[in-house]
Structure 1
Amino acid sequence: MPPTFVRIAQWPRRLEVPDSRPIRDVVVAGGGIVGWSAAAALRRHLPNVGVTVIADAPAPDALAERIGSTLPSIAAFHGDLGLSEMNAVARTASGYRVGTQFEGWAGNRPAYVHTYGEHGRPFGATSFHLYWHRVRQAGGTASFDTFSPAAELARMGRFVHPQGGPGSILASFEYGLQLNPARYLDLMRAFAVHLGAREHQAKIAQVDVRGEDGFVGGLRLDDGQVVTADLFVDCTGPAARIRSALDAKFEDWSCYLPCDRVILAEGTAPASLPVMDSVVAMSSGWRWQAASPARTSHGLVYASAHLSDSKAERALRVHSGAEPRGPAVAIRIGRRPDPWLRNCVAVGEAAVALEPLEWTNLHVAHSAIDRIVAMMPDRECAPIELAEFNRQSAAEAERIRDFLMLHYVTSDRREPFWRDAAAMRIPDGLAHTLRLFRERGRLPFQEEETFARDSWLSVLFGQGVLPHRADPLTDALPIARIEAAMGQMRDSIRAMASPLPTHADYLGNMMRRAVR
């Protein structure tokens, strides 16, 4: 019997799709590191898009332009641009950093080092940190950061790039950069111009908003010119010169993060170049010191309710030996609920403003730039696409906020500032993280996570936060065997670090290769 064929409805010969109107012209407002980084990324990844930078100088409260410490994510950003690390470091008198030493944040507990990358090596049936906690409960005294290869490098002032196979100790850490901001800005500007970005030296005098759809129609500049574009990228810092013309919505986070002032100073580079920063808790805030081959950066971050600007300036002089570079800068902690609205997207501190603890300011800008490139809409700027951009941006910013807040709410210092900080209302995400961790040492998974699990563990254990009970999976191994394995790890880390070059020697070798 021949097969039976059933006639089905015929597909239409032509699918009707709406006309696409791709974005062809972008204006980037802001002539700082963030603005030129955005211009370079847009030109590199979207070569059919014309990019004009309105190169107005950054305002003093744009901290991403002034603070040189970066997270490890900067390496991936440079890699995506095709910018070599040799250029980004050696040619800008910048250096490397593998972490930050926190002193005085946990009362009388010893200082600890928050580094990037692996702490300990997995063995047995569960995570290393759970075995470490079991040994700690049994009377062990080795701090968690002694099992971090990067922390050993930091304490010894030594550096090499990660290397070796998956089993190598030197393959298990990450590093950030200690930038020299002025020369890094020159590099990023030259690179963006090389890629085809155009520069217009002027200030924004007025933002024209179209009445029919609320889109930005153009920018009137102080030289009399008017510039138009399909998309405006606002990299003007906390003032958000373009984005603020569309609405004034702002989510205040001063109830979560207590510091609202920062003073910066700068000194000469030290004779022995460190590979980690120092962050020291004070009675009304904290101060930092971070060095590159070109300079030593100092800063004091504090709450104006507990310390006057004049007293903060004196304290910075005393501790740094350097003169403050300008008056105190106010930080309005919080974020814009919709950084991308219609045809304007706020980037970096134009979208979210945070105190510089853990050095996230430039990272947030880079993350937004990557997201713009990956999610670029057409000229209609469909609300559903912008809503997804804003959702991801919000999740990232809130998780960073929670990580910074962790340092304050787990401190047991007794000064009024610290008591007020410890009494702040904890947002739901951080409260859940702390409850889960304190029960049995577990951490929740978050979609938009800037800091890896080991970074959370480093701060939690460093601040003295310990789970109530040991994980039962660790009972599968005798305590003596766990202690022996951990002892071997510590010995291997020490042996690895000793013969490595100092940070200064490593940079010197890089510079000699760069000038060949």
Structure 2
Amino acid sequence: MGEAQVGAGRIRKVVIVGGGTAGWMAAAMLSKLMGRALDITLVESELIGTVGVGEATIPQIRLFNATLGIDENEFMRMTQGTFKLGIEFVDWLQPGHRYMHAFGAVGGRDLGAVPFHQYWLKSRQAGRAPALDHYVFNAVAGWQNRFLRGADVVNSPLGNVAHAFHFDAGLYAKYLRGLAEARGVTRIEGTIGDVRLRGEDGFIESVVLDDGRVVEGELFLDCSGFRGLLIEQALHAGYEDWTHWLPCDRAMAVPCESVRPLTPYTRSTARSAGWQWRIPLQHRTGNGMVYSSAHTSDEEAARILLANLDGAPQADPRPLRFTTGMRKRFWHRNCVALGLASGFMEPLESTSIHFIQASLSKLVSFFPDAGFDPVEIDEYNRQVQFEYIRSRDFLVLHYWANRREEPFWRDCRAMSIPDTLAHKIELFQRHGRVFREHEELFTESSWIQVLIGQGVLPAGYHPMVDLLDDNETEAMLAGVRRVLESCAAQMPAHEDFIARHCAAVPA
């Protein structure tokens, strides 16, 4: 890449190639934080559809919306949104089994030096404690279809409700476009026919539209989706394929009529060769099937999907092909890939929009001058890669830890898993210990819920648990359950909360 140019001058022209969720998130954030200093142009074509399946999110999106100064109720009305307390996993361990991966802490809070789940492990091993979900507040409230935004309440689970959203990704992009254009972002309608590189260093100089218009820039953001129009087709950054760990390579998406009640959680249901998602919105329910083409046909996947909808389908299933993995370089020369152009992790844990958000946050932290310092670019790539790899491991856990008997699931159970995941599982299997490294995305609470939900149970528990006698332990666990149930009972129904605060105009 060459030596950085000291004092090379400030970046003034940013070109975003592609709209959709990634493009307009980038435009909205950069125009909010740096709008006066940057000339931002976004190029997109209405002729090129966006994937738009990322309708479920995780709580970090609230930080992104807050950065943009977005009013949550207005945002929910404009995107037909509902609230999300977690993800329900149905039939993943084996048919008839379900558990919730809920946002927030297990047990509400830890007891001194020992995490709460350690006390549950002792009681569970003695055959006394019910499923872990009974001790996670969002799971208790979610299965009762209740919701309340975290209020300023002292010493109560109601004061710290962690929530995210379900929304129409197309409406979200439209909403962000309005914010970005109001802050001076220029949108150009057109398709790109050519990418011009500088001869001396191979940096992108401009993009040329099919009608001959030339759009010049200094920093280019590739939001062109799976095509990777800039990062791959022009700059050949390379791609790391993870299909051997995450074998699903196709998806179908279809909306159906909305049904009540509006559940405050995403549902993921295991099927014979993959899984089906269900995302409740105010005006419809989003559904899809993620599956392995090596284990089932497109026709069979569509049949299973359509046979398991809550309401009448509103369109034909829309197919999507993908290769799970990541770019070998997310930032290459003067181009940063965002969204699907940077890589793809299936939407099992609703991470797609988070990766856009996290990459944008890091881009702001490492925002370059015209010298494009290679040391800083390498550090950006290292940090984004770390987040992708650790999130990959979390998804692989869902597939590997199963007791189903179909060929697809037997193959997943037999696969060799990444060393980083194997170490995490082995550590947990001893005494239930989980440690979060370097602010990786998924917390100890997330790992604990999914490990236990997928049937990975430790042989022992933390020795300090025995400092409480059995009666004290059982009384403590029962007390936590009573508090969580009592607090959930005080919450309104999810649907009533939406009707009171953020009901959308009927579509």
Instruction: State the TM bucket, normalised to the shorter chain.
Output: over 0.9
SS in 1 for 2:40: strand
Q: Structure 1, residues 354-407: CA drift from partner, whole Å, max 9, x if none?
A: 111111111111111111112101112111010000000000000110000010
1:58 is displaced (CA, Å) by 8.7
* d(CA) in 1 for partners of 2:48, 2:384: 23
- 1:200-254 Cα deviation digits (max 9, x unpaired): 0111111111221010011001221011111000011111111111115111100
Partners of 2:219 and 2:391 in 1: how far apart?
A: 27
* Alpha-carbon distance in 2 for matches of 1:470, 1:184: 45
Distance in 2 (CA, whole Å) between partners of 1:315 and 1:323 is: 16
Shift of 1:98: 0.6
- Point out the more displaced range, 261-270 or 388-397: 261-270
Question: Where in structure 2 are the equivalents of 1:402-441 lying within 5 Å?
Answer: 402-441=393-432
CA distance in 1, matches of 2:54, 2:340: 13
| 1:193 pairs with 2:181 | yes
Partner SS for 2:248: coil
Aligned AA (1:457): I
In 2 relative to 1, CA 513–52 (structure 1 residues): closer, same or farther, beyond 3 Å? closer
- The match for 2:73 is 86
Deviation at 1:169, TM superposition (A): 1.1
Tell me the percent identity.
35
Q: Structure 1 residue 104: deviation in Å?
A: 0.7
Partner of residue 268, structure 1: 257
Deviation at 1:501, TM superposition (A): 1.2
Contact 2:276 2:288 in 1 (8 A): yes
Equivalent in 199, 202, 219 of residue 231 of structure 1: 219
Cα contact 1:400–1:450 (8 A) shared by 2: yes
Alignment match of 2:25 (pick from 37, 43, 47):
37
Residue 170 of structure 2 is matched in structure 1 by 182
Amino acid across the alignment from 2:286:
S
Question: Which amino acid in 1 is paired with 2:62?
Answer: A
Helix, strand or coil: the match of 1:52? strand
Query: Please, which runs of 5 or more residues in structure 2 have no aligned partner?
Result: none
- Structure 1 residue 95 and structure 2 residue 76: aligned? no
* Cα offset, 1:90, TM superposition: 2.1
Q: Please state whether the residue corresponding to 1:328 is helix, strand or coil.
A: strand
The whole-number CA distance in structure 1 between the counterparts of 2:160 and 2:411 is 38
Distance 1:513 1:331 in 2: 33
**Residue of structure 1 equivalent to 2:500:** 509
Kindly state the Cα deviation for residue 459 of structure 1 after the two structures are TM-superposed.
0.6
Identify which of 351, 358, 363 aligns with 1:367. 358
**Are residue 464 (structure 1) and residue 455 (structure 2) matched?**
yes
Q: Deviations over 1:422-456 (max 9, x none)?
A: 12221111111111111111113311411111011
Match of 1:281 in 2: 270
- Which deviates more, 121-130 or 225-234? 121-130
Alpha-carbon distance in structure 2 between the residues aligned to 1:396 and 1:57: 32
d(CA) in 1 for partners of 2:113, 2:392: 33
**What letter matches 1:94 in structure 2?**
G
Are the counterparts in 2 of residues 75 and 176 from structure 1 also a CA contact under 8 Å?
Answer: yes
Say if 1:324 and 1:301 are closer, same or farther in 2 by CA, change over 3 A.
farther
* 2:383 alignment partner, one of 386, 392, 398: 392
Q: Paired residue for 1:208?
A: 196
Amino acid at match of 1:127: P
Q: Would you say the 8 A contact 1:39–1:53 is kept in 2?
A: yes
Q: Distance in 2 between matches of 1:240 and 1:292?
A: 30
Alpha carbons 1:36, 1:189 under 8 Å: kept:
yes
Query: Aligned residues, how many?
Result: 496
Structure possessing the higher radius of gyration over alpha carbons: 1
Instruction: Give the deviation of 1:315 after TM superposition.
Output: 1.2
Q: What's the RMSD between the two structures over aligned residues?
A: 1.8
CA contact (8 A) 2:77 2:503 kept: no
Q: Residue in 2 aligned with 1:12?
A: none
Q: Secondary structure at the match of 1:75?
A: helix
